[in-house]
Amino acid sequence: MTTLAIEAHGLVKTFGENRAVDGVDLAVRAGTVYGVLGPNGAGKTTTVRMLTTLLRPDGGSARVLGHDVVDDADQVRRLIGLTGQYASVDEDLTGTENLVLQSRLVGLSRSQSKRRAAELLESFDLTEAANRPVKHFSGGMRRRIDLAASIVVTPDVLFLDEPTTGLDPRSRGQVWDIVRGLVAGGTTVLLTTQYLDEADQLADRIAVIDRGTVIAEGTSADLKASVGRSSLHLRLADEAQRDLAERLVAQTLDTMPHRTPEAGVITAPVADPDLVADLMIRLRAEGVGIDEIGVQRPSLDEVFLALTGHAAEDDDTERTAA
Amino acid sequence: MTATTEVPAVERPVRSIAAARVDRPQPPSPLSASLTLGWRSVLKIRRIPEQLFDVTLQPVIFIVMFVYLFGGAVSGSTTEYLQFVLPGILVQTVVMASLYTGISLNTDIGKGIFDRFRSLPIWRPAALLGALLADGIRYVVAGVVCLGVGMAMGFRPDGNMLEVLAACLLVLVFAFSLSWIFAFLGLVMRSAGAVQGVSMLAMFPLTFASNVFVDPSTMPGWLRSWVDVNPVSQLVTAVRGLMAGAPDAGAIGWSLFGCAVLVAVFGPLTMRAYRRKA
């Protein structure tokens, strides 16, 4: 049996009438990245706050590396790192001061703390900002300092609540890279995100959460497979060969190709992507020139739409604590 | 959105530092955690010195204004009134400064930094105690400014050094005890603005409806009955006595009793709200 870093059974949290989290089950294997995907207000943050001992569940139970988040909260806090949705470092303090503060609070000595702060600032490319108050940092820098603060000592389980919301692509890439590095070092990561491609990129397994419950769970491939098949996208070098090409596609893939409004483009559902190789050989044999060919799997956007009946919003609506 | 996402140039050091394991030492002791968090508040004062206005400029304005405005009318001479009012303004300044505890606590919670502290394996009350300790520095500043300005204007305590120190210490203890109320408000109120509003509401009857500025003997009976039980009045009487070299054991005792009651009631309430704070 593989060890579970996080397990939750029927977690419930209600705020008045609102059941923010309504029976969430999770099982996260140690050493993996687990994505919790959902739109605003789905209950992601509330779930994370319960798992990180900040909020007491109203029902159900959860364990982090075998320690109950309620009965054994102190032990849990010794194992986790948390980066909240709101960058939770002190805006008035400088980068260095924040990291020294954090290091001191996890128990490093004064000199160790200074050394660790300098080391993290250096490797997170924040040295120049070391002596500037965090409130003058850019969005990407803030997120990096926040992440750095979570790993002054290596957490066994790191919780990242929407670590890249509002970041530009370059900063997102940097955050992703830090996450990959941590996982390489053996840390288990649970991250919440509204970005489907983020879950796709980072997570080994994904739970899709909507209105406080998990509505689908699996690898990103599982989720995509549950929604539909891949599709072939073929652009011909010569529009005139379209009829021939369509016949070959139909024969080889055993499906009906769709004619698209785009000149020389054929698409067709693909049950077995392996057959596409056969198709390419036949196209070559018949002298059909290819401009572009690809097999696309359904995006997680489509998955989300299919599962929830509504699109994943990543709008700018104000994020609430729900 | 396509499935192909290019990851920007990988920064090697980031990856390697993230992968290099730093083992977690033993969590800090309660004292060490509280002091560290107190140090944070001190750093914040250094970074934003404006937040000391209420304990530096405000008492100066109060002392100068009240002494020259009312001194002649109330006591016949400004020198005499200064002698009377200075201990009162010292108390008023420090008492008012204590509401800052609630405001800064509420701001911290709103900004999410409290979540980070609470997710750490530190002694739970450390964040609260740290903030309260740092506020002690503000009270000391207030005390020094009040006495400094007062002395410059001609205030002369008749008590000896020890008695003046004891008076200051008593004010500090009282402010520390009172700040538990504001810490509690800071935890349960929705916004820093609300904390300030409610606290100020409590502050006026506490500081003005007292013997800080005038002798209550000319006040109407209903007001006097409040002034007499107002813990701030007891404290002012105690401080006046000490500074005049005639310690009033009764007033000192009542002040300390008031402190004990404040801590006994609001300490547990605050800790409970703190533990529950979502």
pLDDT of chain A, 322 residues: tens digit per residue: 468 999 999 999 998 888 899 999 999 999 999 999 988 888 999 999 999 998 899 999 999 999 999 999 999 999 999 987 765 788 899 999 999 999 999 999 999 999 999 999 988 889 888 999 999 998 888 888 998 999 899 999 999 999 888 888 888 888 898 889 889 888 999 999 988 888 888 999 999 998 899 988 999 888 877 766 678 888 998 888 888 998 998 888 887 787 777 778 888 878 787 888 899 999 999 999 888 888 887 766 677 777 776 655 544 333 343 3
A13 close contact with B: CB closer than 8 A:
no
- State the burial class of residue A76 (Cβ atoms within 10 Å of its Cβ: 0-12, 13-18, 19+): buried
Residues in chain B closer than 8 A to A174 (CB atoms): 8, 11, 14
Give the distance, in angstroms, between the CA of residue A283 and the centroid of all CA atoms in the same chain.
Answer: 39
Question: What pLDDT is stored for residue A255 in this prediction?
Answer: 79
User: Is there a contact between A147 and A175 (Cβ–Cβ < 8 Å)?
Assistant: yes
How is residue A289 annotated by DSSP? -
Give the distance, in angstroms, between the CA of residue A167 and the centroid of all CA atoms in the same chain.
Answer: 14
CATH superfamily name and code, A229-297: UreE, C-terminal domain (3.30.70.790)
Q: What is the CATH number of domain A4-225?
A: 3.40.50.300
Q: Which residues contact A247 (CB under 8 A, 6 or more apart)?
A: none
Q: Which residues contact A172 (CB under 8 A, 6 or more apart)?
A: A164, A198
Map residue B270 onto helix, strand or coil. helix
Question: What pLDDT is stored for residue B105 in this prediction?
Answer: 85
A242 close contact with B: CB closer than 8 A:
no
User: What ipTM describes this predicted complex?
Assistant: 0.79
Flag if A105 and B122 touch (Cβ within 8 Å).
yes
Least confident of A163-177, A302-316, B36-50, B109-123: A302-316
Flag if A88 and B48 touch (Cβ within 8 Å).
no
Smallest CA–CA distance from A99 into chain B, residue = B40
Residue of A311 and B205 predicted with greater confidence = B205
Question: What pLDDT is stored for residue B6 in this prediction?
Answer: 43
Flag if B112 and A87 touch (Cβ within 8 Å).
yes
Question: What pLDDT is stored for residue B7 in this prediction?
Answer: 42
Question: What pLDDT is stored for residue A233 in this prediction?
Answer: 84
Question: What pLDDT is stored for residue A217 in this prediction?
Answer: 92
Smallest CA–CA distance from B25 into chain A, residue = A107
Question: What pLDDT is stored for residue A228 in this prediction?
Answer: 62
B51 vs B48: CA distance, rounded Å: 6
Nearest to B115 among A54, A184, A197 (CB): A54
Give the mean model confidence (pLDDT) for residues B77-91.
91
Does A4-225 match A229-297 in CATH topology?
no
B46 vs B231: CA distance, rounded Å: 32
Map residue B180 onto helix, strand or coil. helix
**Domain boundaries along the sequence of chain A:** 4-225, 229-297
Nearest to A86 among B22, B36, B111 (CB): B111
Q: Which residues contact A13 (CB under 8 A, 6 or more apart)?
A: A19, A20, A21, A43, A46, A47, A50, A55, A57, A58
Question: What pLDDT is stored for residue A304 in this prediction?
Answer: 73
Residues in chain A closer than 8 A to B118 (CB atoms): 53-54
Write down the pTM of the prediction.
0.78
Residue B13 pLDDT exceeds 70: no
Residue B16 pLDDT exceeds 70: no
Map residue A236 onto helix, strand or coil. strand
Nearest to A101 among B16, B36, B278 (CB): B36
Average pLDDT of chain B to the nearest whole number: 86
Question: What pLDDT is stored for residue A312 in this prediction?
Answer: 53
